[in-house]
Structure 1
Amino acid sequence: MNVTGPLVPNAHLLRSDILDSGNDFLGSKIDQDYMDYVHPHWRQYQAPEPYQHFLLGLAYAVILVVGMLGNLLVIVTFFMTKSLQSPSNAFVANLAIFDTLMMSKLPLFVMNSVVEGQIFGKIGCDIYGLIGSYSGMGAAVTNAAIAFDRYRTIAFPLDGRLGMKAAICLIIFTWLWATPFSLLPFFETWSRFAPEGYLTTCSFDYMTEGKSTQLFTMTIFSWAYVFPLVMIALFYSKILSHVREHERMLKEQAKRMNVKSLSQGDEKSAEIRIAKVAISIVFLFICGWTPYALVALIGCFGDRSLMTPTFSMFPAIACKTVACIDPWIYAINHPRFRAEIQKKVPWLCIFGQETKSSDNKSSVSDATDIKTETA
């Protein structure tokens, strides 16, 4: 049920993890003129121990290093390797850019953890929320664009491939898609960015009571999560249906020709292999952003007694971990990316040496890229 009424601590929330006499309350190190942005729900809780801030800051520092390295490797490799500059890879590079944007705000979180609050006050919170909003919604719709591109490539290999101009238009669209619900709370035109959890992170305000908050929460939930997820599910279900139909036709043709089986061909296998990579990235996105969506819905419509500061920090960790893992999943599964990264940074031995089989698959990918350029 939604919490309405006076903004005072509720009796059923006063447990052992709530403010006890003599202990600092959550937000005690926040500037007084900024306390209006801290919802009273968070101020009921006892301040986290310093070691909790330290562990979170340490975890985010590791995610920052690993995630920034992986995403920058994908971006630099894409822009420096002409053979990789296909429409399909452009979408993956765009995803890496959004993930890099997500990584770029982690130093601010680490500093916030050191001071156990918002080191730059309101403007720091607004910038943190703005970057998170652009990177989160941008990654969501980019995953939908990847699914659309894979569907067109596999279902219509001759005349359905996206050209580079069409891909660039879709990439611009992903940035435009993320703009309205990033700028509206930034300028406080509709909703606002506010501290959450340990008050070292900021997101759109899903805690303030009122119909406006509920409407904004449901709108951004649909815009940033439901719609991209529906598009992703639709396109990948069509891919799976097409692959099953293609296999059925091959079996029937093999039966008529009185042979055991017919090969689908290296190019078709390569496309299906890349589709599997895209599906894995989408799966990571679901794992990363579903917890955040649930927390926002609970905070806006549900039982807020479940919304402890520690509980609300886990979704933020999940989404940033996914942004860290995305490029490594793609690089490990794509022979051409792996080979080019190995050439450019040979000291990064985790990629290992390419096998002959991988080289053959790379050649197929090159051929696919060339065909795409001429589509």
Structure 2
Amino acid sequence: MANGGILFLWCSSRLVRTPSFLLIMSLALADLLMMLKLPIFLIGIWCQGPCLGLFGCEMYGVVSVISGMAAIWSLTAIVVERAWVISFSKLGVISKLKWYTAIEVVLLIWISAIVVSVLPLAGWNRYVYEGYLVSCSIDMYSNNFIDKSYVWLLVFVGWVGPNILIFYCSYAIVRANRRNNTLMMELMAVGGDTAQNFQKQRILEERRLWRVSSMMLTVWMGSWTPYTVVVLFNATGYIHLINPHIGMLPAVFCKTSAAVNPFIYGFCLPKIKGEALKLLKRYRSTRPSPENSSRFPNSSPARTPRPSIIHMISINNRHASTSC
């Protein structure tokens, strides 16, 4: 629902149609695509087993890889773009993301995700049921070298590479903010209550930035690390420790991240939050209030009552007496 709200906000508000918000919309679209599989997931649990067949499992796996890779790379692009803007803005360089750059990045993300998802259909690994046999993913338990090579490809392009970029960019954002705070405190080092209040405000902002960065990294690591752990267990020969209960956790965690991401990377931003509140206020203003509806339950326009028969007879007698 929150991902749909991000897409609706893009279509209804012109103020949020920026290149930076295009990356957030790409993340919301990937998460929405991932959440659309939830009814099939729940139907499989209700049926207590596979209910899709071979073709359905392959389509489920293709959508899973497309949505997963697109979400990971869109999230990485968002963090890199924010670090780029913050780091270069401190140096006085024009670092605003251009429209053509954002469009090229989004197209590259989705085309690459589609290409990677089609490779198992061409024979490089395959899609199989996982966990409780209610969802499908790539075969991470195979000992074949070709199948393992595809799994390690996904580990490097979907976990190792994005992890390096996200951790480095988060560190760059915090470092740039601390450098700016130190510079401002040196300029305000004249003493007095104003300088002390400014220093306390900067310290609170830095702590808030640390909390937000820590929350983003925790959600990121908790969402996609379980798949990597399963791959490492298979590579080290401890795959027998992965029972169906543990094997089901990666699919649950990645779907949880799809529900949380729009709040962390979308509605937490003041501009997007403000536009969402404006739309809600506009919707409430056009909706009739319950007080008026309860006070005037029959709010239909008043109708002229039809004259009764007795009233018509009295009118005729009155006309007859006057004529006489």
Q: Normalising by structure 1, what TM-score?
A: 0.66
Q: Which residue of 2 aligns with 1:25?
A: none
- Equivalent residues of 1:150, 1:275 under 8 A apart: no
Q: Secondary structure of 2:122's match?
A: coil
Alignment check: 8 A CA contact 1:250 1:262 kept = no
Please tell me whether residue 195 in structure 1 is matched to residue 129 in structure 2.
yes
Deviations 1:5-45 (A, max 9, x none): xxxxxxxxxxxxxxxxxxxxxxxxxxxxxxxxxxxxxxxxx
Task: State the partner residue of 1:359.
Answer: none
Please say which structure displays the higher CA radius of gyration. 2
Q: Residues 109-148 of structure 1 correspond to what in structure 2 (within 5 A)?
A: 109-148=41-80
Match of 1:338 among 251, 257, 273: 273
Letter of the structure 2 residue corresponding to residue 155 of structure 1: S
Matches within 5 A, 1:224-373: 224-255=158-189, 260=195, 280-345=215-280
Deviations 1:134-188 (Å, cap 9, x if unpaired)?
Answer: 1111111111111111012112235112112211111112113323321101x13
The alpha carbon displacement at 1:109 in A equals: 1.4
Work out the percentage of aligned pairs sharing the same amino acid: 28
The letter of the residue matching 1:82 is: R
Aligned to 1:180: 115
Do the aligned partners of 1:140 and 1:228 also contact (CA within 8 Å) in 2?
yes
| Counterpart amino acid of residue 238 in structure 2 | D
Please report how far the alpha carbon of residue 306 of structure 1 lies from its aligned counterpart in structure 2 after TM superposition: 1.1
Q: Residues 170 and 276 (structure 1 numbering): CA distance in 2 closer, same or farther, change over 3 Å?
A: farther
Q: Deviations over 1:200-248 (max 9, x none)?
A: 1111111122222222222210011110111111212222222222222
Could you tell me which amino acid in structure 2 is paired with residue 87 of structure 1?
A: P
The AA in structure 2 aligned to 1:211 is F
Does structure 1 conserve the Cα–Cα contact (< 8 Å) formed by 2:24 and 2:266? Answer: no
1-side partners of 2:47 and 2:191: how far apart? Answer: 74
Q: How does 1:47-126 map to 2 (within 5 A)?
A: 69-126=1-58
Query: Which structure has more helix as a fraction of its residues?
Result: 2
| Structure 2, unaligned runs of 5 or more | 285-324
RMSD of aligned Cα (Å): 3.0
Check conservation: 1:146, 1:278, Cα contact below 8 A: no
CA deviation vs aligned residue, 1:62-109 (integer Å, no higher than 9, x gap): xxxxxxx11100111122111111222221111111100101111221
Q: Distance between the aligned counterparts of 2:236 and 2:126, measured in 1?
A: 18
Amino acid at match of 1:344: L
Q: Give the Å deviation of 1:305.
A: 2.1
Cα distance 1:273–1:175, how it changes in 2: closer, same or farther (>3 A)?
A: farther
Query: Structure 1 stretch 106-115 or stretch 276-285: which is displaced more?
Result: 276-285
CA distance in 1, matches of 2:274, 2:162: 32
Deviation at 1:343, TM superposition (A): 3.7
CA distance 1:90–1:262, change in 2 (3 Å):
farther
